[in-house]
Structure 1
Amino acid sequence: MPNDAEGRYLSVAEAMKEWGPVAFDALVDIAKSYNAYITYKDLTDLVQDVTGITYGALVSNWSGNLLSYVLHRAVRESLPPLSSLCVSAEGTVGKGYAEVLQAYGKPVPSDLDTLNDEAAMHRLECYRFFGADLPPGGGVPTLTPKGAGCARVEESTVSRSGSTKVVSEAFRDPPHDWAMRRMRGLTMVSLRRSR
């Protein structure tokens, strides 16, 4: 069971009421930086750090619930799929991303590669919607460097399933590290203002 800062036990549902908005705000902030993303682990660490509510369960046992909160709020508010900005340590989305496509009324592909292509397109929608500084031409759907299977990240174009993905040299250092540090400060300020 999750524990608050005073060591009291909370239900997962009670904790999610605090974690969900923090995750949502973090992903909105990440969407403001072209090609930025965050891992499941980093997002769960962030929401625990910001709220002071910790949970000892495996990340894989509760990150889906956290992203489900983000998904349903984004759908309600007619926003692009912010959940696409959160990826595994391998830089990919999992089978659970099919829930995102279903929520937006899109067909669900049968393979993970196509699911990851869809997530890359959704990330680009997020960057455009939230005003990220895009390259000339408006950017392209981009797999994360690890998701693209790049051992050495360099400027390259990869064609698969008829679509083009660009992996930029700029992402030798995971962009989520910067976004996570920035979100910790921004989220603490916004939480203080909202209380």
Structure 2
Amino acid sequence: MKAAHTMIVTLGLLLCVGCATPPEVKQALIAKDRAYAENERLMHQYRELVSNVTQRHQYWYRYIQTRLKLNLALQWATTNPKLTDVADAELAKDDADLLGTDLIALINEIRLKNLPERKGPTGQIIFQAGTGDMNNLLQQLPELIGRVEQRVAKDSQASSTVDLTAFDQYRTNVDALRRINAIIKQYLDIDVTLSRDDVQSIAEAVRTLRR
């Protein structure tokens, strides 16, 4: 990191020189610390923005998926879905993969009378022949909605987290730079050379930047 290299050079000068420090050098350190603080503030704001946008995307994902899966479940409970360019068996399998076993089990309980069974590509029955009526379907509607929401929640778990470690690492690096800057400025203010303990403290901060 370029900033770390600059700090090391400054540290070397301090170890060699014990004379009064020009005001320009002190002002440069103050300006650098302000720049570090501003960068950290902006990065924190950007981190919050990324987090908030991700949460909003997740909300809309769950909302849209809930509507889609509920609509799909009701289609299979009340009709015999078909698509022109998709084989019946493939359509049944694809929709079953979207709905999941818990939803399919309930759909099979509430499918309306006279709806035929639908098989998958291997011949297994996925959607059973309907035996229910509209009254039963309406009574089971809250349960159907609940299972849809559970399915959507399960599907969204994989994409519910966002990696913010890059922002946290940046903040760690900036904090280390500011610690180095503060130690150097402290000694420049009183125009003395650094003690061995403070040199060690700065070295530890520099190592933090390199991790």
TM-score normalised over the length of structure 2? 0.20
| Larger Cα-atom Rg | 2
More helix by share: 2
More strand by share: 1
Which of 1 and 2 has higher RCO (CA within 8 Å, sep 6+)?
2
TM-score normalised over the length of structure 1? 0.21
